[in-house]
Copies of this chain bind each other. A is one copy, B any other.
Amino acid sequence: MAGGGRAVIFLRIFFPLRHSMGGNEYTEHCFSGSLSMPFPIVRAIPVTAPPPSLRDNTGDLDRLKRALLPELTGVPPLVPQARLAAVAAAFRRAGFTGAAIVNDLAGLPQLVDFLPAPPPSLPAMALDLGTTHLEASLIDLVHGTVLARANRENSQIRHGADILSRIHFAARGDGLTLLHAGIIEDVNCLAIELAKAAGLACGEVRALSVSGNTTMVHFFLGLDPHHLCREPYIPLVNAPDPCPAAELGLAIHPAAPVWLLPSVGSYFGGDLIAGVLASGLDLGEQTSMLIDVGTNAEVIVGNREWLIACAGAAGPALEGGVARMGMRAGPGAIEHLAIDLETKAIRYSTIGNARPRGICGSGIIDLVAGLYLSRQIDIRGKFRPQATGERLRMGDEGWIFVVVPGEESADGRPVVLSQVDLDALMRSKAAMYAILTTLLNQVGVGFAELHRIYVAGAFGRHIAPRQAIVLGMLPDLPLATYEPVGNSSLAGAELVLRDGAARRRALTLAKKITYLELNVNQEFMLRFSGSRFIPHTDRSLFPSVPFFEGE
Q: Spell out A's residues near B (CB within 8 Å).
A: 52-54, 56-62, 78-82, 84-85, 88-89, 92, 106, 108, 221-224, 227, 231-241, 243-244, 247-248, 263-266, 268, 515, 517, 520
- Residues from chain B with Cβ under 8 Å of A235 in the complex: 57, 59-60
For A60, give its contact among B106, B236, B264, B515 (CB under 8 Å).
Answer: B236
- Residues from chain B with Cβ under 8 Å of A82 in the complex: 247
Once A89-B224, A224-B89 are accepted as A-B contacts, the answer to whether A84 and B54 lie under 8 Å apart by CB is: no
Once A78-B106, A108-B108 are accepted as A-B contacts, the answer to whether A264 and B57 lie under 8 Å apart by CB is: yes
Once A53-B232, A232-B54, A234-B60 are accepted as A-B contacts, the answer to whether A85 and B224 lie under 8 Å apart by CB is: yes
- Residues from chain B with Cβ under 8 Å of A233 in the complex: 54, 57
Cα separation A243 to B442 with both chains bound (whole Å): 50
Copies in the complex: 2
Q: Could you tell me if A78 and B238 are in contact, using CB atoms closer than 8 angstroms? A: no
A-B contact pairs, 14 of them (CB 8 A): A54-B233, A54-B517, A54-B520, A58-B234, A58-B238, A59-B235, A59-B238, A61-B236, A81-B244, A81-B248, A82-B247, A84-B223, A84-B240, A89-B236
Q: Which residue of B lies closest to A221 (CB)?
A: B84
Q: Which residue of B lies closest to A247 (CB)?
A: B81
Q: How far is the CB of A28 from chain B (nearest CB, A)?
A: 33
Q: Could you tell me if B57 and A266 are in contact, using CB atoms closer than 8 angstroms? A: yes
Cα separation A79 to B238 with both chains bound (whole Å): 13
Q: Could you tell me if A59 and B515 are in contact, using CB atoms closer than 8 angstroms? A: no
Cα separation A248 to B84 with both chains bound (whole Å): 12
Cα separation A238 to B61 with both chains bound (whole Å): 8
Q: Could you tell me if A80 and B224 are in contact, using CB atoms closer than 8 angstroms? A: no
Cα separation A223 to B88 with both chains bound (whole Å): 8
Give 4 closest A-B pairs by Cβ, nearest first: A57-B265, A81-B243, A52-B234, A59-B238
Known A57-B264, A61-B240; 7 more pairs at CB < 8 Å: A54-B231, A56-B234, A57-B235, A57-B266, A59-B236, A84-B223, A85-B224
Cα separation A266 to B234 with both chains bound (whole Å): 53
Cα separation A52 to B227 with both chains bound (whole Å): 10
Once A243-B80, A243-B81 are accepted as A-B contacts, the answer to whether A57 and B268 lie under 8 Å apart by CB is: yes
Q: Which residue of B lies closest to A235 (CB)?
A: B59
Q: Could you tell me if B85 and A222 are in contact, using CB atoms closer than 8 angstroms? A: yes
Q: Could you tell me if A62 and B237 are in contact, using CB atoms closer than 8 angstroms? A: yes
Cα separation A53 to B62 with both chains bound (whole Å): 48
Q: Could you tell me if A221 and B85 are in contact, using CB atoms closer than 8 angstroms? A: yes
Q: Could you tell me if B54 and A238 are in contact, using CB atoms closer than 8 angstroms? A: no
Cα separation A410 to B198 with both chains bound (whole Å): 75
Q: Which residue of B lies closest to A232 (CB)?
A: B54
Cα separation A59 to B224 with both chains bound (whole Å): 13
- Residues from chain B with Cβ under 8 Å of A265 in the complex: 57, 59
Cα separation A234 to B96 with both chains bound (whole Å): 13
Q: How far is the CB of A49 from chain B (nearest CB, A)?
A: 11
Cα separation A515 to B56 with both chains bound (whole Å): 9
- Residues from chain B with Cβ under 8 Å of A88 in the complex: 223-224, 236-237
Cα separation A235 to B64 with both chains bound (whole Å): 12
Cα separation A517 to B266 with both chains bound (whole Å): 63
Q: Could you tell me if B80 and A241 are in contact, using CB atoms closer than 8 angstroms? A: yes
Q: Could you tell me if B84 and A237 are in contact, using CB atoms closer than 8 angstroms? A: yes
Cα separation A85 to B221 with both chains bound (whole Å): 8
- Residues from chain B with Cβ under 8 Å of A515 in the complex: 57
Once A57-B266, A88-B223 are accepted as A-B contacts, the answer to whether A79 and B240 lie under 8 Å apart by CB is: yes
For A238, give its contact among B57, B224, B231 (CB under 8 Å).
Answer: B57
